[in-house]
Amino acid sequence: MIYYVSFGIVLLLFLALIAFLRKGIIETKYSLIWIFIFVVMAILSLSQKLLEKISSLMGVYYAPSILFLFGILFLIILVFDLTRRVSKLYKLLYTLIQDYAILKSELERERKR
Amino acid sequence: MINDSKILVIIPAYNEKDSIERTLADLLAFKEEKRFRNLDICVINDGSEDNTATIVKGMNVILVDLPVNLGIGGAVQTGYKYAYTYGYDLAIQFDADGQHRSSELEKIINPVLHNEWDMCIGGRFVEKTSYRGSLQRRLGIYYFEKIIQLLTGVRVTDATSGFRCINKKVIKLFAKDYPKDYPEPEVIMLLNKRGLKIKEVSVEMSSREMGKSSITPFRSIYYMLKVSLSILIRKIEKGES
């Protein structure tokens, strides 16, 4: 049962992603990693046998725990990547603000002439 | 008359100190020789760390100095925004590294001049030219030719070529919306979706004189996947026509 719920959620999120991409709400390059996650999670959700194989390899008794494990690991990687992107944007914005202020001051100087 | 049109030649430049002077001198000579009265050259300095900007300031061209590096998409779009702001009739994208030749400019200007076409791309593979790229590069270009033909019906043999000329309608469009990463193949879908007409003509190009291509062998497949996805998303995009 959990397998179907899991797959259903992944499918819904995937459709939401496509809708956002169509409207231009999400940038294409950010969507690549999401698509990868959705595809892997969908495969894991659909194949009970595969999940049980992985769980026995890892010595885990309850196979759906592996779904949680992968989900959490992906989230951690995703958030880490987002942190990296936010840091980069922060630096860009900082530079822009400072350069803007200096430009404004140059403009004022020109006006006063 | 071709010589009276208000044309902006947009040159995105990132760390091109070794080739920019020669490229600009070549273009200025072309302007003089062919008597293009209203042709302006605009270098977009994409946050170069070297003295590209200083070199450009010493020449009779326009310099737009970006405070940070935006990449090829962002830099070229800045040029289109400039073209739109100052009412240019035509805009041309031209590489700083010496690959593009001013002698081939008229070939891409003429189809767009009287709005027979909205964008004209100068391709190296329409006819046999002297260009010799790496096998990997040519495979990638062939892949894009096929996928674009499949999705749009338009046949572009050199979709990655940045040597292109656009008219006022497309300038306005690009000023508002232009892809940020690897824009050249994606805009073909962008224009096709809005019913705009693209022509490809055969041009000669030189091989890269100095510096390295920004696409390393390792990144090729990632690049091809990413651009394919972008083209697909543009196809299903919710847009006004």
Question: Per residue of chain B (241 residues), what is the pLDDT tens digit?
Answer: 677 889 999 999 999 999 999 999 999 999 999 989 899 999 999 999 999 999 999 999 999 999 889 999 999 999 999 999 999 999 999 999 999 999 999 999 999 998 899 999 999 888 877 777 778 788 888 999 999 999 999 999 999 999 999 999 999 999 999 998 889 999 999 999 999 999 999 999 987 655 556 656 677 888 888 899 899 988 988 765 4
pTM of the model: 0.87
Q: Is the CB of residue A86 less than 8 Å away from at least one CB of chain B?
A: no
More confident residue, B25 or A28: B25
ipTM higher than threshold 0.85: no
**Contact at CB, B68 and A29, closer than 8 angstroms:** no
Q: Is the CB of residue A31 less than 8 Å away from at least one CB of chain B?
A: yes
**Cβ-Cβ contacts under 8 Å, A99 against chain B:** 67
Q: Taking the mean position of all CA atoms in its chain, how far away is CA B110?
A: 16
Distance in angstroms (rounded) separating the CA atoms of residues B182 and B160: 8
Q: Which residues contact A4 (CB under 8 A, 6 or more apart)?
A: A45
Which residue among A21, A22, A95 sits closest to B68, beta carbon to beta carbon?
A95
Contact A67, A51 (CB under 8 A): yes
**Contact at CB, B233 and A21, closer than 8 angstroms:** yes
Which residue among A28, A95, A96 sits closest to B233, beta carbon to beta carbon?
A28
Q: Is the CB of residue A15 less than 8 Å away from at least one CB of chain B?
A: no
Residue B46 φ/ψ, nearest 5 degrees: -90, 55
pLDDT for B192: 94
Q: Is the CB of residue A25 less than 8 Å away from at least one CB of chain B?
A: no
Report, in angstroms and rounded to the nearest whole number, the Rg of chain B calculated over CA atoms: 17
